[in-house]
Structure 1
Amino acid sequence: MKKKILLPTDFSKNSWNAIAYAIELYKNELVDFYLLNAFNASTYIQDILVVPDEGETLFERSKKKSQMGLKKILLQIKAHGENRDHNYFTASVFDSPLDAVKNCIEAKDIELVIVSNKGETNDLDTILGSNTIDMMEKVRNCPVLMIPADVTFKEPNEIVFPTSFKTHYKRRELTHLYEIAKITNAPIRVLHISKEDELSQDQIEKKALLEECLDGLEYSFHYLENTNVNNGLKLFVQSRESEMIVFINKKHAFFGSVLTKPMVKDLGYSSKVPVLALHDLRN
Protein backbone atom coordinates (compact mmCIF):
# COMPACT_ATOMS: atom_id res chain seq x y z
CA MET A 1 0.00 0.00 0.00
CA LYS A 2 1.39 3.38 -1.03
CA LYS A 3 2.11 6.07 1.49
CA LYS A 4 0.85 9.60 0.90
CA ILE A 5 3.28 12.33 1.90
CA LEU A 6 2.76 16.07 1.56
CA LEU A 7 5.70 18.33 0.68
CA PRO A 8 4.84 22.05 1.06
CA THR A 9 7.26 24.32 -0.78
CA ASP A 10 7.95 28.01 -1.29
CA PHE A 11 10.62 27.18 -3.94
CA SER A 12 13.47 28.15 -1.62
CA LYS A 13 16.71 26.20 -1.33
CA ASN A 14 15.67 25.04 2.13
CA SER A 15 12.31 23.71 0.99
CA TRP A 16 14.06 21.77 -1.78
CA ASN A 17 16.38 20.39 0.86
CA ALA A 18 13.37 19.04 2.78
CA ILE A 19 12.02 17.48 -0.43
CA ALA A 20 15.35 15.77 -1.12
CA TYR A 21 15.43 14.51 2.48
CA ALA A 22 11.95 13.02 2.08
CA ILE A 23 12.88 11.28 -1.17
CA GLU A 24 15.94 9.69 0.42
CA LEU A 25 14.20 8.74 3.67
CA TYR A 26 11.54 6.82 1.75
CA LYS A 27 13.72 5.67 -1.14
CA ASN A 28 12.77 2.02 -0.65
CA GLU A 29 9.06 2.65 -0.05
CA LEU A 30 6.06 3.03 -2.35
CA VAL A 31 5.08 6.70 -2.02
CA ASP A 32 2.77 9.23 -3.62
CA PHE A 33 4.35 12.63 -2.98
CA TYR A 34 2.16 15.73 -3.16
CA LEU A 35 4.06 18.95 -3.89
CA LEU A 36 2.06 21.91 -2.63
CA ASN A 37 2.63 25.62 -3.15
CA ALA A 38 0.30 28.10 -1.46
CA PHE A 39 0.56 31.34 -3.41
CA ASN A 40 -0.59 34.81 -2.44
CA ALA A 41 -1.90 37.26 -5.03
CA SER A 42 -2.97 39.94 -2.55
CA THR A 43 -1.63 43.47 -2.77
CA TYR A 44 -2.02 46.80 -1.01
CA ILE A 45 -3.41 49.91 -2.69
CA GLN A 46 -3.36 53.02 -0.51
CA ASP A 47 -3.08 50.85 2.63
CA ILE A 48 -6.14 48.80 1.64
CA LEU A 49 -5.71 45.06 1.17
CA VAL A 50 -6.96 44.03 -2.26
CA VAL A 51 -7.56 40.34 -2.96
CA PRO A 52 -8.03 39.68 -6.68
CA ASP A 53 -10.53 37.15 -7.99
CA GLU A 54 -9.65 34.17 -10.13
CA GLY A 55 -9.26 35.33 -13.71
CA GLU A 56 -7.86 38.74 -12.83
CA THR A 57 -4.36 39.56 -14.04
CA LEU A 58 -2.60 39.57 -10.66
CA PHE A 59 -4.22 36.29 -9.62
CA GLU A 60 -3.39 34.53 -12.91
CA ARG A 61 0.17 35.87 -12.88
CA SER A 62 0.72 34.56 -9.34
CA LYS A 63 -0.85 31.21 -10.18
CA LYS A 64 1.32 30.82 -13.30
CA LYS A 65 4.44 31.63 -11.28
CA SER A 66 3.43 28.97 -8.74
CA GLN A 67 2.77 26.36 -11.42
CA MET A 68 6.09 27.10 -13.14
CA GLY A 69 7.89 26.73 -9.81
CA LEU A 70 6.35 23.30 -9.30
CA LYS A 71 7.37 22.23 -12.80
CA LYS A 72 10.95 23.23 -12.03
CA ILE A 73 10.87 21.11 -8.87
CA LEU A 74 9.72 18.11 -10.91
CA LEU A 75 12.72 18.65 -13.19
CA GLN A 76 14.99 18.84 -10.14
CA ILE A 77 13.57 15.58 -8.85
CA LYS A 78 14.18 13.95 -12.23
CA ALA A 79 17.78 15.20 -12.19
CA HIS A 80 18.14 14.00 -8.60
CA GLY A 81 17.40 10.47 -9.80
CA GLU A 82 14.08 8.92 -10.67
CA ASN A 83 12.59 6.24 -8.44
CA ARG A 84 9.99 3.92 -9.93
CA ASP A 85 8.39 3.50 -6.51
CA HIS A 86 7.65 7.23 -6.26
CA ASN A 87 4.86 9.22 -7.90
CA TYR A 88 4.54 13.00 -7.81
CA PHE A 89 1.48 15.23 -7.91
CA THR A 90 1.45 19.03 -7.82
CA ALA A 91 -1.00 21.63 -6.56
CA SER A 92 -0.96 25.45 -6.70
CA VAL A 93 -3.41 26.84 -4.16
CA PHE A 94 -4.46 30.42 -3.43
CA ASP A 95 -4.52 30.18 0.35
CA SER A 96 -2.41 30.54 3.47
CA PRO A 97 0.24 27.80 3.85
CA LEU A 98 -1.42 26.41 6.99
CA ASP A 99 -4.93 26.24 5.52
CA ALA A 100 -3.62 24.85 2.24
CA VAL A 101 -1.85 22.06 4.14
CA LYS A 102 -4.91 21.29 6.26
CA ASN A 103 -7.17 21.13 3.21
CA CYS A 104 -4.75 18.92 1.27
CA ILE A 105 -4.44 16.51 4.19
CA GLU A 106 -8.22 16.09 4.23
CA ALA A 107 -8.69 15.92 0.46
CA LYS A 108 -5.86 13.46 -0.26
CA ASP A 109 -5.82 11.49 3.02
CA ILE A 110 -2.21 12.53 3.66
CA GLU A 111 -0.26 10.45 6.21
CA LEU A 112 2.75 12.70 6.82
CA VAL A 113 3.87 16.28 6.14
CA ILE A 114 7.58 16.96 5.58
CA VAL A 115 8.64 20.61 5.49
CA SER A 116 11.62 22.89 6.03
CA ASN A 117 11.60 25.17 9.04
CA LYS A 118 13.12 28.07 7.12
CA GLY A 119 11.83 29.88 4.09
CA GLU A 120 13.14 32.07 1.37
CA THR A 121 15.14 34.43 3.61
CA ASN A 122 16.07 31.99 6.43
CA ASP A 123 13.86 34.04 8.74
CA LEU A 124 11.57 32.42 11.31
CA ASP A 125 8.78 34.80 10.26
CA THR A 126 8.85 34.14 6.51
CA ILE A 127 6.67 31.78 4.47
CA LEU A 128 8.05 28.49 5.73
CA GLY A 129 9.24 29.87 9.05
CA SER A 130 6.42 30.65 11.43
CA ASN A 131 4.03 28.62 9.26
CA THR A 132 6.03 25.45 9.87
CA ILE A 133 5.68 25.98 13.59
CA ASP A 134 1.95 26.55 13.12
CA MET A 135 1.74 23.29 11.20
CA MET A 136 3.46 21.36 13.97
CA GLU A 137 1.12 22.87 16.56
CA LYS A 138 -2.19 23.12 14.73
CA VAL A 139 -2.25 20.22 12.26
CA ARG A 140 -3.63 17.73 14.77
CA ASN A 141 -4.65 14.94 12.41
CA CYS A 142 -1.32 14.35 10.68
CA PRO A 143 2.31 14.12 11.87
CA VAL A 144 4.69 16.86 10.72
CA LEU A 145 8.40 16.26 10.17
CA MET A 146 10.45 19.47 10.29
CA ILE A 147 13.79 19.40 8.45
CA PRO A 148 16.23 22.15 9.54
CA ALA A 149 18.00 24.09 6.83
CA ASP A 150 21.15 22.54 5.39
CA VAL A 151 20.47 19.09 6.88
CA THR A 152 21.13 16.51 4.19
CA PHE A 153 19.76 13.04 4.59
CA LYS A 154 21.67 10.27 6.25
CA GLU A 155 20.22 7.42 8.24
CA PRO A 156 19.95 8.72 11.82
CA ASN A 157 22.38 7.20 14.32
CA GLU A 158 19.53 7.21 16.86
CA ILE A 159 16.10 8.68 17.45
CA VAL A 160 15.44 10.45 20.75
CA PHE A 161 11.91 10.00 22.08
CA PRO A 162 11.30 12.20 25.14
CA THR A 163 8.37 11.21 27.33
CA SER A 164 6.86 11.73 30.76
CA PHE A 165 5.49 8.16 30.93
CA LYS A 166 2.11 9.79 31.50
CA THR A 167 0.68 9.13 28.06
CA HIS A 168 -1.61 6.22 27.33
CA TYR A 169 0.39 5.11 24.30
CA LYS A 170 -1.38 3.85 21.20
CA ARG A 171 0.34 1.88 18.46
CA ARG A 172 -1.38 3.92 15.77
CA GLU A 173 -0.03 7.15 17.29
CA LEU A 174 3.53 5.80 17.15
CA THR A 175 3.27 4.39 13.62
CA HIS A 176 5.71 6.88 12.07
CA LEU A 177 8.24 6.55 14.88
CA TYR A 178 8.14 2.78 14.44
CA GLU A 179 8.32 3.05 10.66
CA ILE A 180 11.26 5.48 10.50
CA ALA A 181 13.20 3.44 13.05
CA LYS A 182 12.51 0.32 10.99
CA ILE A 183 13.48 1.66 7.57
CA THR A 184 16.64 3.41 8.87
CA ASN A 185 17.68 0.76 11.42
CA ALA A 186 17.96 3.55 13.99
CA PRO A 187 17.72 2.65 17.70
CA ILE A 188 15.24 4.61 19.81
CA ARG A 189 16.48 6.34 22.96
CA VAL A 190 13.52 6.89 25.27
CA LEU A 191 14.33 9.90 27.43
CA HIS A 192 12.59 10.66 30.72
CA ILE A 193 13.31 13.97 32.42
CA SER A 194 11.95 14.51 35.91
CA LYS A 195 12.63 16.03 39.30
CA GLU A 196 11.28 12.89 40.92
CA ASP A 197 13.67 10.05 41.73
CA GLU A 198 11.19 7.25 41.07
CA LEU A 199 8.32 6.56 38.71
CA SER A 200 4.81 6.33 40.08
CA GLN A 201 2.83 3.12 39.66
CA ASP A 202 0.87 4.74 36.83
CA GLN A 203 4.10 5.75 35.07
CA ILE A 204 5.46 2.22 35.45
CA GLU A 205 2.33 0.87 33.76
CA LYS A 206 2.55 3.45 30.97
CA LYS A 207 6.23 2.59 30.45
CA ALA A 208 5.29 -1.09 30.06
CA LEU A 209 2.67 -0.08 27.49
CA LEU A 210 5.31 1.87 25.56
CA GLU A 211 7.57 -1.18 25.56
CA GLU A 212 4.76 -3.18 23.96
CA CYS A 213 4.42 -0.52 21.25
CA LEU A 214 8.18 -0.61 20.54
CA ASP A 215 8.38 -4.40 20.41
CA GLY A 216 10.52 -5.45 17.46
CA LEU A 217 12.73 -2.36 17.56
CA GLU A 218 16.04 -1.63 19.27
CA TYR A 219 15.45 0.79 22.12
CA SER A 220 16.81 1.82 25.52
CA PHE A 221 15.67 3.98 28.44
CA HIS A 222 17.54 7.02 29.69
CA TYR A 223 16.85 9.25 32.70
CA LEU A 224 17.78 12.79 33.61
CA GLU A 225 16.96 14.37 36.98
CA ASN A 226 16.89 17.88 38.42
CA THR A 227 16.75 19.72 35.11
CA ASN A 228 13.93 21.26 33.11
CA VAL A 229 12.58 19.50 30.05
CA ASN A 230 13.87 21.91 27.41
CA ASN A 231 17.45 22.06 28.72
CA GLY A 232 17.58 18.34 29.44
CA LEU A 233 16.45 17.40 25.95
CA LYS A 234 18.87 19.83 24.35
CA LEU A 235 21.84 18.60 26.40
CA PHE A 236 21.01 14.95 25.78
CA VAL A 237 20.78 15.43 22.02
CA GLN A 238 23.93 17.54 21.82
CA SER A 239 26.06 15.30 24.04
CA ARG A 240 25.17 12.19 22.04
CA GLU A 241 25.05 13.94 18.65
CA SER A 242 21.62 12.39 18.11
CA GLU A 243 20.20 13.01 14.65
CA MET A 244 16.43 12.98 15.11
CA ILE A 245 13.84 13.80 17.76
CA VAL A 246 10.34 12.32 17.74
CA PHE A 247 7.73 13.10 20.35
CA ILE A 248 4.02 13.28 20.97
CA ASN A 249 2.83 16.86 21.06
CA LYS A 250 0.20 16.41 23.73
CA LYS A 251 -1.33 19.75 24.63
CA HIS A 252 -1.52 20.93 28.23
CA ALA A 253 0.72 18.13 29.44
CA PHE A 254 4.34 17.39 30.32
CA PHE A 255 5.68 18.19 26.86
CA GLY A 256 3.02 20.71 25.98
CA SER A 257 5.59 23.50 26.09
CA VAL A 258 8.16 21.80 23.88
CA LEU A 259 6.64 23.00 20.63
CA THR A 260 6.66 26.66 21.51
CA LYS A 261 8.41 29.00 19.10
CA PRO A 262 11.56 29.35 21.28
CA MET A 263 11.93 25.57 21.57
CA VAL A 264 11.40 24.85 17.88
CA LYS A 265 13.79 27.66 17.00
CA ASP A 266 16.34 26.27 19.45
CA LEU A 267 16.10 22.71 18.16
CA GLY A 268 15.81 23.52 14.49
CA TYR A 269 18.30 26.35 14.24
CA SER A 270 20.94 25.47 16.82
CA SER A 271 21.18 21.69 16.98
CA LYS A 272 20.20 21.08 13.34
CA VAL A 273 18.06 18.09 14.28
CA PRO A 274 14.99 16.95 12.32
CA VAL A 275 11.95 16.97 14.59
CA LEU A 276 8.87 14.81 14.07
CA ALA A 277 5.74 15.97 15.90
CA LEU A 278 3.26 13.17 16.54
CA HIS A 279 -0.09 13.81 18.15
CA ASP A 280 -2.21 12.36 20.89
CA LEU A 281 -5.25 11.39 18.80
CA ARG A 282 -7.56 12.06 21.72
CA ASN A 283 -6.68 15.77 21.71
Structure 2
Amino acid sequence: MAKQNPDCQSCSEKDSGSCDSTTCSKPQKLPQNPSNNIKRVVAVMSGKGGVGKSSVTSLVAVSLAKQGYKVGILDADITGPSIPKMFGISDRPVSDGKALMPIWSKKLNIKIMSLNLLLDNEDDPVIWRGPILAGAVKQFWSDVAWGNLDYLIVDMPPGTGDIPLTAMQSLPIDGIIIVTSPQELANMVVRKAIKMAKMEEVPIIGLIENMSGIVCPHCGDHFNIFGESTAQKAAQQNAIPLLKVLPLDPKLSALCDQGDIEKYEQLLDDITPLLKN
Protein backbone atom coordinates (compact mmCIF):
# COMPACT_ATOMS: atom_id res chain seq x y z
CA MET A 1 0.00 0.00 0.00
CA ALA A 2 1.31 3.45 -0.90
CA LYS A 3 2.13 5.80 1.95
CA GLN A 4 -0.73 8.23 2.57
CA ASN A 5 0.11 11.90 2.51
CA PRO A 6 -1.30 13.53 5.70
CA ASP A 7 -1.54 16.86 3.87
CA CYS A 8 -3.91 15.42 1.30
CA GLN A 9 -7.38 16.79 1.90
CA SER A 10 -9.25 16.42 -1.35
CA CYS A 11 -7.55 13.58 -3.22
CA SER A 12 -10.05 10.93 -4.34
CA GLU A 13 -7.65 8.23 -3.13
CA LYS A 14 -7.48 9.54 0.44
CA ASP A 15 -10.27 7.48 1.95
CA SER A 16 -8.99 4.27 0.38
CA GLY A 17 -5.56 4.82 1.90
CA SER A 18 -3.85 4.51 -1.49
CA CYS A 19 -2.93 8.18 -1.85
CA ASP A 20 0.71 8.31 -2.97
CA SER A 21 2.63 11.01 -1.10
CA THR A 22 5.13 11.18 -3.97
CA THR A 23 2.51 12.34 -6.45
CA CYS A 24 -0.23 14.00 -4.39
CA SER A 25 0.54 17.61 -3.56
CA LYS A 26 -0.62 19.74 -0.67
CA PRO A 27 -3.85 21.67 -1.39
CA GLN A 28 -3.33 25.14 -2.81
CA LYS A 29 -4.66 28.27 -1.12
CA LEU A 30 -7.94 29.45 -2.57
CA PRO A 31 -7.75 32.73 -4.49
CA GLN A 32 -9.87 35.67 -3.46
CA ASN A 33 -13.10 36.43 -5.23
CA PRO A 34 -12.15 38.96 -7.96
CA SER A 35 -14.47 41.53 -6.37
CA ASN A 36 -12.76 41.24 -2.96
CA ASN A 37 -9.66 42.91 -1.62
CA ILE A 38 -8.85 41.42 1.79
CA LYS A 39 -5.49 42.61 3.11
CA ARG A 40 -5.01 40.38 6.15
CA VAL A 41 -6.66 37.21 7.44
CA VAL A 42 -6.42 36.43 11.17
CA ALA A 43 -7.86 33.22 12.64
CA VAL A 44 -8.90 32.73 16.27
CA MET A 45 -8.56 29.14 17.45
CA SER A 46 -8.88 27.05 20.59
CA GLY A 47 -8.08 23.47 21.47
CA LYS A 48 -11.47 22.90 23.10
CA GLY A 49 -14.85 24.56 23.28
CA GLY A 50 -16.12 26.72 26.11
CA VAL A 51 -13.08 28.97 26.53
CA GLY A 52 -14.64 32.08 24.96
CA LYS A 53 -13.05 31.87 21.52
CA SER A 54 -15.99 33.53 19.77
CA SER A 55 -16.15 36.39 22.26
CA VAL A 56 -12.41 36.98 21.74
CA THR A 57 -13.00 36.91 17.97
CA SER A 58 -15.70 39.56 18.37
CA LEU A 59 -13.55 41.71 20.68
CA VAL A 60 -10.68 41.66 18.18
CA ALA A 61 -13.04 42.72 15.39
CA VAL A 62 -14.67 45.46 17.48
CA SER A 63 -11.27 46.77 18.60
CA LEU A 64 -10.05 47.03 15.00
CA ALA A 65 -13.30 48.60 13.77
CA LYS A 66 -13.18 51.27 16.49
CA GLN A 67 -9.68 52.15 15.28
CA GLY A 68 -11.11 52.87 11.84
CA TYR A 69 -10.23 49.64 10.04
CA LYS A 70 -12.62 47.88 7.68
CA VAL A 71 -13.32 44.53 9.30
CA GLY A 72 -15.21 41.33 8.54
CA ILE A 73 -15.89 38.14 10.53
CA LEU A 74 -16.07 34.77 8.83
CA ASP A 75 -17.86 32.46 11.26
CA ALA A 76 -16.22 29.11 10.50
CA ASP A 77 -17.65 27.52 13.64
CA ILE A 78 -20.33 26.00 11.43
CA THR A 79 -22.00 23.70 13.95
CA GLY A 80 -21.79 26.12 16.89
CA PRO A 81 -22.13 29.62 15.42
CA SER A 82 -22.60 32.38 17.99
CA ILE A 83 -21.27 35.49 16.23
CA PRO A 84 -24.68 36.72 14.94
CA LYS A 85 -26.15 36.48 18.45
CA MET A 86 -23.36 38.59 19.95
CA PHE A 87 -23.88 41.32 17.35
CA GLY A 88 -27.68 41.16 17.49
CA ILE A 89 -28.15 40.47 13.79
CA SER A 90 -30.61 38.06 12.21
CA ASP A 91 -31.08 39.39 8.67
CA ARG A 92 -30.85 36.74 5.98
CA PRO A 93 -28.00 37.25 3.47
CA VAL A 94 -29.02 37.77 -0.14
CA SER A 95 -27.16 37.27 -3.38
CA ASP A 96 -26.33 39.98 -5.90
CA GLY A 97 -26.33 37.32 -8.62
CA LYS A 98 -22.60 36.73 -8.34
CA ALA A 99 -21.89 36.36 -4.63
CA LEU A 100 -23.58 36.26 -1.24
CA MET A 101 -23.73 39.60 0.56
CA PRO A 102 -22.56 39.64 4.21
CA ILE A 103 -24.67 41.28 6.89
CA TRP A 104 -23.35 44.51 8.43
CA SER A 105 -23.28 44.97 12.19
CA LYS A 106 -25.52 47.64 13.66
CA LYS A 107 -22.96 50.17 14.93
CA LEU A 108 -19.49 49.61 13.47
CA ASN A 109 -20.39 48.17 10.04
CA ILE A 110 -18.47 44.95 10.62
CA LYS A 111 -19.30 42.55 7.79
CA ILE A 112 -20.45 39.17 9.09
CA MET A 113 -21.15 35.85 7.41
CA SER A 114 -22.37 32.90 9.45
CA LEU A 115 -24.34 29.77 8.67
CA ASN A 116 -26.76 30.76 11.44
CA LEU A 117 -27.89 33.63 9.23
CA LEU A 118 -28.93 31.11 6.58
CA LEU A 119 -31.00 28.85 8.86
CA ASP A 120 -34.78 29.17 9.22
CA ASN A 121 -34.36 29.21 13.02
CA GLU A 122 -31.21 30.16 14.92
CA ASP A 123 -31.44 27.05 17.09
CA ASP A 124 -31.77 24.59 14.17
CA PRO A 125 -28.93 22.04 14.33
CA VAL A 126 -26.50 21.68 11.43
CA ILE A 127 -26.26 17.92 10.96
CA TRP A 128 -23.65 17.73 8.21
CA ARG A 129 -20.65 15.49 7.68
CA GLY A 130 -17.10 16.81 7.62
CA PRO A 131 -16.63 17.35 3.85
CA ILE A 132 -19.83 19.42 3.60
CA LEU A 133 -18.82 21.52 6.62
CA ALA A 134 -15.39 22.10 5.11
CA GLY A 135 -16.99 23.07 1.82
CA ALA A 136 -19.11 25.72 3.56
CA VAL A 137 -15.96 27.36 4.95
CA LYS A 138 -14.46 27.50 1.47
CA GLN A 139 -17.65 29.05 0.09
CA PHE A 140 -17.68 31.68 2.83
CA TRP A 141 -14.25 32.70 1.55
CA SER A 142 -14.78 32.42 -2.21
CA ASP A 143 -18.49 33.09 -2.70
CA VAL A 144 -19.09 36.02 -0.33
CA ALA A 145 -18.81 39.64 -1.47
CA TRP A 146 -16.50 40.88 1.31
CA GLY A 147 -15.34 43.85 -0.76
CA ASN A 148 -12.45 45.89 0.60
CA LEU A 149 -11.34 44.75 4.06
CA ASP A 150 -8.29 45.59 6.13
CA TYR A 151 -8.91 42.51 8.28
CA LEU A 152 -11.00 39.36 7.99
CA ILE A 153 -11.22 37.60 11.36
CA VAL A 154 -11.99 33.88 11.13
CA ASP A 155 -13.76 32.31 14.11
CA MET A 156 -12.54 28.73 13.93
CA PRO A 157 -14.35 25.76 15.48
CA PRO A 158 -12.64 24.20 18.50
CA GLY A 159 -10.29 21.29 18.08
CA THR A 160 -8.13 20.02 15.23
CA GLY A 161 -10.68 18.41 12.92
CA ASP A 162 -11.76 18.83 9.31
CA ILE A 163 -12.80 22.48 9.44
CA PRO A 164 -9.66 23.93 11.10
CA LEU A 165 -7.56 21.84 8.71
CA THR A 166 -9.54 23.10 5.72
CA ALA A 167 -9.20 26.71 6.87
CA MET A 168 -5.44 26.42 7.42
CA GLN A 169 -4.83 24.69 4.10
CA SER A 170 -7.30 26.65 1.95
CA LEU A 171 -7.39 30.20 3.34
CA PRO A 172 -4.37 32.55 3.19
CA ILE A 173 -4.20 32.96 6.98
CA ASP A 174 -1.59 35.50 8.03
CA GLY A 175 -1.65 34.54 11.70
CA ILE A 176 -3.52 32.68 14.43
CA ILE A 177 -4.54 33.81 17.92
CA ILE A 178 -4.83 30.87 20.32
CA VAL A 179 -7.42 31.14 23.12
CA THR A 180 -7.28 29.09 26.30
CA SER A 181 -8.47 29.22 29.92
CA PRO A 182 -6.56 28.74 33.20
CA GLN A 183 -7.28 25.03 33.72
CA GLU A 184 -4.41 22.66 32.99
CA LEU A 185 -6.89 20.49 31.06
CA ALA A 186 -7.53 23.36 28.64
CA ASN A 187 -3.80 23.97 28.24
CA MET A 188 -3.16 20.30 27.52
CA VAL A 189 -5.70 20.40 24.69
CA VAL A 190 -4.58 23.78 23.36
CA ARG A 191 -1.09 22.38 22.83
CA LYS A 192 -2.63 20.17 20.16
CA ALA A 193 -3.95 23.25 18.34
CA ILE A 194 -0.56 24.96 18.60
CA LYS A 195 1.22 21.90 17.20
CA MET A 196 -1.32 21.69 14.38
CA ALA A 197 -0.71 25.32 13.40
CA LYS A 198 3.04 24.77 13.42
CA MET A 199 2.71 21.59 11.34
CA GLU A 200 0.66 23.53 8.77
CA GLU A 201 3.24 26.36 8.89
CA VAL A 202 0.67 28.98 9.86
CA PRO A 203 2.21 31.78 11.98
CA ILE A 204 1.00 32.02 15.59
CA ILE A 205 0.50 35.60 16.76
CA GLY A 206 0.20 34.61 20.40
CA LEU A 207 -1.89 33.27 23.26
CA ILE A 208 -4.84 34.82 25.08
CA GLU A 209 -5.93 33.35 28.40
CA ASN A 210 -9.64 33.98 28.86
CA MET A 211 -11.82 33.55 31.98
CA SER A 212 -8.79 34.19 34.18
CA GLY A 213 -10.59 34.78 37.45
CA ILE A 214 -13.12 37.47 38.25
CA VAL A 215 -12.90 40.86 39.93
CA CYS A 216 -15.51 41.50 42.63
CA PRO A 217 -17.51 44.62 41.66
CA HIS A 218 -17.93 45.55 45.33
CA CYS A 219 -14.52 45.05 46.96
CA GLY A 220 -12.25 44.90 43.91
CA ASP A 221 -10.62 41.63 45.01
CA HIS A 222 -9.61 39.10 42.36
CA PHE A 223 -10.81 35.51 42.69
CA ASN A 224 -9.28 32.67 40.65
CA ILE A 225 -12.45 30.62 40.33
CA PHE A 226 -10.86 28.34 37.71
CA GLY A 227 -7.53 28.11 39.49
CA GLU A 228 -4.33 30.11 39.23
CA SER A 229 -3.40 31.52 35.84
CA THR A 230 -1.20 29.27 33.75
CA ALA A 231 -0.88 31.74 30.88
CA GLN A 232 2.79 32.62 31.27
CA LYS A 233 3.75 28.97 31.72
CA ALA A 234 1.72 27.89 28.70
CA ALA A 235 3.22 30.62 26.50
CA GLN A 236 6.77 29.74 27.56
CA GLN A 237 6.26 26.01 27.12
CA ASN A 238 4.97 26.52 23.59
CA ALA A 239 7.43 29.29 22.68
CA ILE A 240 4.71 31.78 21.69
CA PRO A 241 3.97 35.31 22.96
CA LEU A 242 1.42 35.88 25.72
CA LEU A 243 -0.90 38.56 24.34
CA LYS A 244 -3.46 39.08 27.09
CA VAL A 245 -4.98 37.67 30.28
CA LEU A 246 -8.71 38.40 30.38
CA PRO A 247 -10.85 38.00 33.52
CA LEU A 248 -14.48 37.00 33.45
CA ASP A 249 -16.62 40.11 33.04
CA PRO A 250 -20.37 39.97 33.70
CA LYS A 251 -20.77 43.16 31.63
CA LEU A 252 -19.34 41.43 28.57
CA SER A 253 -21.59 38.40 29.10
CA ALA A 254 -24.65 40.62 29.38
CA LEU A 255 -23.79 42.59 26.23
CA CYS A 256 -23.21 39.37 24.27
CA ASP A 257 -26.61 38.05 25.37
CA GLN A 258 -28.21 41.36 24.37
CA GLY A 259 -26.49 41.44 20.97
CA ASP A 260 -24.62 44.60 21.91
CA ILE A 261 -20.98 43.52 22.07
CA GLU A 262 -20.10 46.63 20.06
CA LYS A 263 -20.88 48.67 23.20
CA TYR A 264 -18.18 46.93 25.25
CA GLU A 265 -15.49 49.38 26.32
CA GLN A 266 -12.61 47.21 27.61
CA LEU A 267 -11.22 46.25 24.24
CA LEU A 268 -8.03 44.66 22.92
CA ASP A 269 -6.43 47.80 21.47
CA ASP A 270 -3.04 46.90 22.95
CA ILE A 271 -2.74 43.69 20.93
CA THR A 272 -4.15 44.87 17.61
CA PRO A 273 -0.81 46.40 16.47
CA LEU A 274 0.61 42.86 16.56
CA LEU A 275 -1.89 41.80 13.89
CA LYS A 276 -0.14 44.02 11.32
CA ASN A 277 3.17 42.14 11.50
Instruction: Please report the TM-score for the alignment, with normalisation by the length of structure 2.
Output: 0.32
The structure in which a higher percent of residues are helix is 1
Indicate the structure (1 or 2) with the bigger Cα radius of gyration: 1
The structure in which a higher percent of residues are strand is 1
Which is bigger in relative contact order (C-alpha 8 A, separation at least 6)?
2
